[in-house]
Amino acid sequence: MSRVLVTGASGFVGCRLCPALASRGHEVSASIRVGDERQPKGAAHLYPLTVDPDADWTAALEGQEAVVHLAARAHVMRETEPDPGTAYHQVNVEGTLRLAQAAVSSDVNRFVFLSTVKVHGEASTGAPSTESDPAAPQDAYARSKWEAEQGLRTLAERTGLEVVILRSPLVYGPGVKGNFLALLRLCASGLPLPFGRVQNRRSLLFVDIVVDAVCAALECPQAAGQTYLVRDGQDLSTPELCRHLSAGLGRTSRLWPFRQLCPHARMAHWSQAGS
């Protein structure tokens, strides 16, 4: 048994991770966004905190042996920030490194960071990305996650903090929101969708597999200092995914082979991690 602080604990992944950790004998402390009234099941202690460069993690980290950092500024469908790049950097880079440095000061042993496969870019290739592939982040979210990864590695080399990085594609499952929910609703509508000739290939990740991966990253001694890409193991094109979703909803998939859209219909945000 260990004492674990989970940030973003009331989010899509966190609300399933906390009870899973508790069931495995861990004592879970949950960090949630200030003003969030959702208390994750399985959490013995609750800390309303905002992930930013000025956050004071002292109380939340007291006595903790490990941190699972899920909280992040992710893809915003209706962006209101005048400078989104700065907003991503403040939360995902500066906020993450502030937490990690505080963890070192509190004698935390292990720091598990949920990153994104988007650090490898957006292109669909013939084979899945691997951990050794070069980084090629193409938007502010991916760049911020890549910068956070590099900062964590530097901190680990200097202090001995055991950092484990999990790069995730889009996470789906009960309660999913964002782009996956939007696609689900489109499939449920029965409307013709212009994806018939799309030949991309994207990895997906079921939320309970993320939970299993985080538990392994916490508990496996050999995971210290490692970076892992996590996926379901079956990579799907947009048409294949639409057919699966439609079948699950009891609908007939209606895919329209619209030629001019296909080169651009790459569903670039599929690879974004959920929080």
**Which is more confident, 170 or 124?**
170
Catalytic residue among 47, 88, 141, 172: 141
Indicate the residue type of 274.
Answer: G
Cα–Cα distance, 223 to 76 (Å, whole number) = 31
pLDDT of residue 227: 96
User: Among the listed ranges 54-68, 84-98, 245-259, which one has the minimum average pLDDT value?
Assistant: 245-259
> Model pTM?
0.86
Cα–Cα distance, 114 to 145 (Å, whole number) = 9
Where b means 16+ CB within 10 Å and e means fewer, 54-66 reads: ebebeebbeebbb
Q: How large is the average pLDDT for residues 242-248?
A: 86
Residue 141 a catalytic site member: yes
What pLDDT band is residue 78 in, cutting at 50, 70 and 90?
Answer: low
Token duo for residue 99: 């937490």
pLDDT of residue 79: 62
pLDDT of residue 274: 35
Element (H, E) at 124: none
User: Among the listed ranges 55-59, 116-120, 197-201, 260-264, which one has the minimum average pLDDT value?
Assistant: 260-264
pLDDT of residue 262: 46
Chain position carrying tokens 């939340």? 60
What pLDDT band is residue 268 in, cutting at 50, 70 and 90?
Answer: very low
Whether 96 contacts 7, CB under 8 Å: no
Token duo for residue 207: 């939320």
Whether 238 contacts 200, CB under 8 Å: yes
pLDDT of residue 74: 83
**Which is more confident, 6 or 81?**
6
Kindly list the domain boundaries of the chain, sorted by start residue. Answer: 3-172+204-232, 178-200+235-270
1 CB burial (10 A radius; 0-12, 13-18, 19+): exposed
Dihedral in degrees, nearest 10, Cα atoms 131, 136, 141, 146: 50
Cα–Cα distance, 235 to 115 (Å, whole number) = 19
116-166: pLDDT as tens digits:
999 988 765 556 677 777 878 889 999 999 999 999 999 999 999 999 999
pLDDT of residue 110: 98
pLDDT of residue 126: 59
16-55: pLDDT as tens digits:
999 999 999 999 999 998 888 788 999 999 999 989 999 9
Nearest to 241 by CA among 268, 203, 208, 191: 203
Where b means 16+ CB within 10 Å and e means fewer, 237-267 reads: bbbbbbbebbeeeeeebebeeeeeebeebbb
Whether 102 contacts 49, CB under 8 Å: no
Classify 3-172+204-232 by CATH class: alpha beta
